[in-house]
Amino acid sequence: MNVLAVADATIMSALAADVIAATIVQKPNAVLGLATGATPMGVYAKLIEKQKENGLSFAGVRSYNLDEYVGLHGNDPQSYRRYMMENLFQHVDIKNENIHVPNGDATDIARECRQYDEQIVADGGIDLQLLGIGNNGHIGFNEPSDHFTLPTHYVEIDASTREANARFFSSIDVVPKAALTVGMGAIMAARAVLLIASVGKADIVERALNGPVTPAVPASILQFHPNTTVIYVK
């Protein structure tokens, strides 16, 4: 595992964007696993800069987002699909048909999850999986549990995660109670993983990387991933 402890979020974002850009330069049709939350926003801003200033092209890139809130349509301002459109996709030349975000509004949730995994496999698997980390060690919406879940699945969001994410909503009451998330199978099958963590996450990063591997700290499973890079603010 390559672990970089950096001084601030600006450096973290710049380095993470460099890793993603290098992946795209080496493989223009790379499959990227992408994350939402506050942490990747600076990374996406840097990638937009790289497109505008250095001609980095997303024309061949295929993307799979980690998760989506259940019950929110992709056009809902709070949906992760909208977040991705606003923070990255509508500013770069990625093709619409190559964008994938789980459909939290699907009528058949089990089918949606199964097809999402099948599509990832059909596209050759994920070349680079970008991850943030929750205060409780969650990745995607793989919340602390007594077991790791492999496939994309429906999950009830932890009370502490709903509280943390309430800052993006008008009140905690309207934060969805459930989500669809890519499971540990697709994450661990990614050829490379890039975990980023901003100010205030150093303790949970430390527990995930150096503590026991346990589903109680979901990100700890990355200790078993052969090609993981961690960039966190110390």
Q: Are 164 and 100 in contact (CB under 8 A)?
A: no
9-26 and 41-54 are packed helices; what angle lies between their axes, rounded to 10 degrees?
50
Q: Which residues contact 15 (CB under 8 A, 6 or more apart)?
A: 4, 6, 231
| Active-site annotation holder among 105, 117, 138, 153 | 138
| DSSP-H helix ranges across 59-200 | 80-87, 109-122, 159-165, 184-189
Report which DSSP code applies to 15: H
Residues 66-95 that bind ligand GLP (CB under 6 A): 66-67
Site track 144-183 with ligand GLP (rule: CB under 6 A), x = hit? -----------------x---x------------------
Site track 29-68 with ligand GLP (rule: CB under 6 A), x = hit? ------xxxxx--------------------------xx-
| Active-site annotation holder among 87, 143, 153, 165 | 143
User: Among 30, 141, 204, 221, which residue sits at the site for ligand GLP (rule: CB under 6 A)?
Assistant: 141
Report which DSSP code applies to 104: T
153 is catalytic: no
136 is catalytic: yes
Using CA atoms, how far apart are residues 226 and 188, in angstroms rounded to an integer? 9
| Active-site annotation holder among 91, 123, 136, 206 | 136
For ligand GLP, give the closer residue by CB, 105 or 143: 143
For ligand GLP, give the closer residue by CB, 56 or 165: 165
**Closest listed residue to residue 87, CA positions, set 26, 168, 143:** 168
- Shortest distance, CB of residue 61 to ligand GLP, whole angstroms? 19
| Active-site annotation holder among 65, 67, 103, 112 | 67
Query: Where is 11: in which H helix or E strand?
Result: helix 9-26
Taking residue 170's Cβ as centre, other Cβ atoms within 10 Å add up to 9
Choices 26-34, 53-61, 121-129, 132-140; region in contact with ligand GLP by CB under 6 A: 132-140
As annotated, the active-site residues are 67, 136, 138, 143
User: Which residues form the interface with ligand GLP (CB under 6 A)?
Assistant: 35-39, 66-67, 132-134, 140-141, 161, 165
